[in-house]
Structure 1
Amino acid sequence: MHAMQYEITLPADYDMGIVRERVATRGHLLDTFPGLGLKAYLIRERTAGSPVNQYAPFYLWGTPEGMNSFLWGPGFQGIVNDFGRPVVQHWTGLAYAEGPAGASVPVTATRRRTPLGEAVPPGEAVADAVDRHAREASRKGVVASALAVDPRHWELLAFTLWADAEAPADDGERFQVLHLSAPGRAGLGTGRQW
């Protein structure tokens, strides 16, 4: 599993209705995309308390071929044409879990980034994070959750989809989910990824 996200930060007075319309008319195009586990079409809005207006889709790829096909094909080129070429962040998957609300349509997502400190060996830190992820993914309201790592910056990423608009406040940055494409969600596996 590979996690991927790009963030398109928009002007403070940007009409976020434009992004909503984009997702409403184009979001379904990835509903059957080969190699895609899931794509959450995410936004943050200043009018809803976010520090920025932002379009920030988040992906879990089941195969590198699917990710590459998207990045080098017409899908990502549409983003480049409309918004410029954003930095694409990516992480190696560590764990994935369906939550108790797995059958629900997610309305909120949270993203938490945590540095892996140098005091603990990487293997131990990752094992502890995977154990903690399993507990966190079983919380009420969780639709699905993924844990990934960026070994370049030694950063853990916890990403969770929630069935409720009121996800726990301490779970990191909050996003609204406009649409979920999940053609390969069942194939992402559960538990740790090695």
Structure 2
Amino acid sequence: MIAMQYSFTLPADYDMSIIDRRIREKGPLLDGFPNLGFKAYLSALKGEFARRDNLYAPFYLWQEPEGASDFLCSPAFQTLTGAFGWPQVKTWIVWQAEISPDIAAARFATRDILPIEPYAPLAEIRRADGVQAAADVVTGSALASVSGFEPTTWTRVRFRLWREIPEIDAHTQAYRVGHLSQARA
């Protein structure tokens, strides 16, 4: 599995109803996309969640790398980049992904990107992140929990989907979920 996210920081005076409309219109087009675990269409408004600007930042969980490649090579991504520019696409190798059957109820998301110290015990970190991801969903506190790492910059990602926004700290990026696309059963 691969987790993927790109972000578009938009001007403070940008009319975010344009993003909301885009999500409503384009969101369902990825429902059932091959190799997609889920795509969370995410946004944050200036002043919301301590944001200083507006943000559009979809997050993907791909079952297979081909799904990410197929999407990035698709006319849909070409249209997106034509409208908003060429983003840096972050990817992480997934250590653990836990998804509740109630994932469609997600209204909020949080994402933390954490550094991995040089020579850190990766197996221990992976195990601890996996236990936490499973516990988040099993206890019902989160509707999805994804943990992974990126070995070029040596960072970890913790991504979660929620019914209600949890308490967050200054290092956590929070978002609203406008639409959630999933693989077809």
Aligned residue pairs, count:
183
Pairing 1:116–2:124 present: no
Partner in structure 2 of residue 71 of structure 1: 72
Counterpart-to-counterpart distance in 2, 1:129 and 1:71: 28
Q: CA contact under 8 A between 2:16 and 2:45: conserved in structure 1?
A: yes
Counterpart-to-counterpart distance in 2, 1:117 and 1:125: 11
Residue 172 of structure 1, CA deviation: 1.8
AA partner of residue 44 (structure 1): A
AA partner of residue 37 (structure 1): G
Partner in structure 2 of residue 12 of structure 1: 12
Moved over 4 A (4+): none
Alignment TM-score, normalising by the size of structure 1: 0.87
What 5-or-longer segments of structure 1 have no aligned partner?
187-194
Partner in structure 2 of residue 151 of structure 1: 151
Partner in structure 2 of residue 82 of structure 1: 83
Residue 65 of structure 1, CA deviation: 1.4
Counterpart-to-counterpart distance in 1, 2:173 and 2:137: 17
Residue 11 of structure 1, CA deviation: 0.4
- Which deviates more from structure 2 when the two are superposed, residues 146-155 or residues 126-135? 126-135
Pairing 1:45–2:45 present: yes
Alignment TM-score, normalising by the size of structure 2: 0.91
Q: Percent identity, aligned pairs only?
A: 37
Residue 118 of structure 1, CA deviation: 2.4
Instruction: For residues 84-109 of structure 1, give each alpha carbon's deviation from its aligned partner in whole angstroms, at most 9, with x where no partner exists.
Output: 1111110001001124x735511000
Q: CA contact under 8 A between 1:104 and 1:163: conserved in structure 2?
A: no
Counterpart-to-counterpart distance in 1, 2:85 and 2:103: 35
Counterpart-to-counterpart distance in 1, 2:104 and 2:70: 29
Q: CA contact under 8 A between 1:116 and 1:125: conserved in structure 2?
A: no
Pairing 1:57–2:78 present: no
What 5-or-longer segments of structure 2 have no aligned partner?
none
Partner in structure 2 of residue 189 of structure 1: none
Partner in structure 1 of residue 161 of structure 2: 161
Partner in structure 2 of residue 133 of structure 1: 133
Alpha-carbon spacing, 1:41–1:50, altered in 2? closer, same or farther (3 Å) = same
Partner in structure 1 of residue 26 of structure 2: 26
Partner in structure 1 of residue 99 of structure 2: 98
Counterpart-to-counterpart distance in 2, 1:128 and 1:117: 15
Alpha carbon RMSD of aligned pairs, Å? 1.8
Counterpart-to-counterpart distance in 1, 2:93 and 2:25: 31
AA partner of residue 167 (structure 1): P
Residue 148 of structure 1, CA deviation: 1.0
Q: CA contact under 8 A between 1:111 and 1:160: conserved in structure 2?
A: yes
